[in-house]
């Protein structure tokens, strides 16, 4: 068994597509119309055949309170791996990304947390050598 697709619940797929591609650097893999929404998956440019990230509309009634509770508690919805958290923090901050947690050394990893503009906090993390 392996992870093929994972989701991020987003308030607006077009806004999320812009942020996740133009700002974070992911690439669109599938963009299939599905009624008023799309099956919109992204991949890392470093792993075009890797795990896909589905930008899933947060239409379910439980999605909004779930996302709001996580954000209120400062809990990231998901985590993306990077080689150097400080460098990625500087790059993203330079692009206007709002961080709720600047880089923090947490023992075996360094993490930072940002707002994805679509209702989620996202963590970036790097394992230390």
Give the model confidence (pLDDT) of 65-84 as tens digits: 999 999 999 999 999 999 99
Give the model confidence (pLDDT) of 71-126 as tens digits: 999 999 999 999 999 999 999 999 999 999 999 999 999 999 999 999 999 999 99
Handedness of CA 53, 29, 15, 10 (dihedral sign): negative
Res. 129 pLDDT band, cuts 50 70 90: confident
For 92-99, the CB contacts below 8 A with 24+ separation are 92/23, 92/24, 95/23, 96/23, 97/23
Domain that holds residue 53: 5-127
The distance of Cα 16 from the centroid of its chain, to the nearest Å, equals: 9
Measure the CA–CA gap between 17 and 28, rounded to whole angstroms: 8
CATH number at residue 25: 3.10.180.10
User: What mean pLDDT value characterizes the chain?
Assistant: 97
Residue 111: both structure tokens together:
């993490």
Give the chain's domain count.
Answer: 1
- Check residue 16 and give its pLDDT: 98
């Amino acid at each position: 068994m392996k992870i093929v697709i994972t989701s991020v619940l987003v308030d607006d797929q077009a806004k999320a597509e812009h942020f996740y591609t133009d700002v974070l650097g992911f690439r669109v893999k599938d963009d299939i119309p599905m009624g008023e929404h799309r099956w919109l998956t992204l991949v890392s440019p470093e792993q075009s055949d890797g795990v896909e990230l589905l930008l899933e509309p947060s239409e379910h009634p439980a999605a909004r309170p779930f996302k709001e509770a996580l954000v209120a508690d400062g809990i990231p919805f998901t985590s993306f791996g990077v080689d150097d958290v400080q460098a990625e923090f500087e790059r993203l901050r330079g692009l206007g990304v709002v961080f709720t947690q600047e880089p923090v050394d947490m023992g075996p990893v360094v993490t930072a947390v940002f707002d994805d503009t679509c209702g989620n906090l996202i963590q970036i993390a790097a394992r230390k050598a």
